[in-house]
A and B are shown apart, each in its own frame.
Chain A
Amino acid sequence: MIGGLRFAAPLCAVERITLSRREAGWELEAAKSITANEPYLSGHFPSFAIFPGVFAIESLRQAVAYALGELEGSFPEIVSLRSIRFLATLLPGDTMSLHARIGPISAEKSFEVVARCVRNDGVLAVRMSVEFRYPGARHA
């Protein structure tokens, strides 16, 4: 894991993060190989393992946090899940690639992220549109 977890997290949800500067923001690529012994998977479900959909949101959260880094000692936090759509299941043995477009960071230290998770067979598994913010921002 990239430098070890530095905040509470249900699992290590990303590997291989790449951040590239774009005209107004960044492009983020990451991957996650889903194995049979992920934390929590033994309970989801006891007789057959399915990667919980919410863990894809966690993959995005971790990828964004580790790619953009800290501001005044804080990582960016999720403010709002505008739209999350789970379209296909991810099982142990699958690899999920995350492609995200990170928008510019506003004066209030918030930014929008639009992301897709694609399964290794090319099927679109998750669509996400999430608002993040660095804490400590003052509201108008």
Chain B
Amino acid sequence: MSRQFEELREIVAEVLELEPDEIAETGDFVEQYDADSMRAIEILSRIEKRYKIEIPQRELPQMQNLAAVYTVVSRYAGWQD
């Protein structure tokens, strides 16, 4: 797993108040980690600040698990796969 993927895992874990190793790649934030809607906004905000990018709120429905977050962020941050 790339460094950026692990960084995202850490951000997600912090927001969800879990340990990074508790976050599965395709674990749905709502279904699996009992996340309320504000958690997604907090995740998005921390990612924006960390990588100095802007992600429109309309991407939130596409950011429901770690792998999906990575996909969206790498697009806006211009990460190569």
Interface residues of A (CB under 8 A from B): 83, 85, 87
Q: How far, in whole Å, are A17 and B45 apart by their CA atoms in the complex?
A: 39
Contacts of A85 in B (CB 8 A): 36, 38
Q: List 4 A-B contacts (CB under 8 A).
A: A83-B17, A85-B36, A85-B38, A87-B36
Q: How far, in whole Å, are A85 and B17 apart by their CA atoms in the complex?
A: 12
Tell me, rounded to whole Å, the shortest Cβ–Cβ distance linking A107 to chain B.
26
Count CB-based A-B contacts (< 8 Å): 4
Contacts of A83 in B (CB 8 A): 17
Closest to B17 in A: A83
Closest to A88 in B: B36
Tell me, rounded to whole Å, the shortest Cβ–Cβ distance linking B21 to chain A.
20
Contacts of B38 in A (CB 8 A): 85
Instruction: Kindly supply a per-residue 1/0 record for chain B positions 35-77, scoring 1 wherever the CB is within 8 Å of any chain A CB and 0 otherwise.
Output: 0101000000000000000000000000000000000000000
Contacts of A87 in B (CB 8 A): 36
Tell me, rounded to whole Å, the shortest Cβ–Cβ distance linking B57 to chain A.
19
Q: How far, in whole Å, are A15 and B36 apart by their CA atoms in the complex?
A: 28
Q: How far, in whole Å, are A87 and B17 apart by their CA atoms in the complex?
A: 16
Top 4 closest A-B pairs, CB basis? A87-B36, A83-B17, A85-B36, A85-B38
Q: How far, in whole Å, are A83 and B17 apart by their CA atoms in the complex?
A: 9
Tell me, rounded to whole Å, the shortest Cβ–Cβ distance linking A60 to chain B.
18
Contacts of B36 in A (CB 8 A): 85, 87
Interface residues of B in 1-51 (CB under 8 A from A): 17, 36, 38
Tell me, rounded to whole Å, the shortest Cβ–Cβ distance linking A97 to chain B.
19
Q: How far, in whole Å, are A87 and B38 apart by their CA atoms in the complex?
A: 9
Q: How far, in whole Å, are A85 and B42 apart by their CA atoms in the complex?
A: 12
Closest to B37 in A: A87
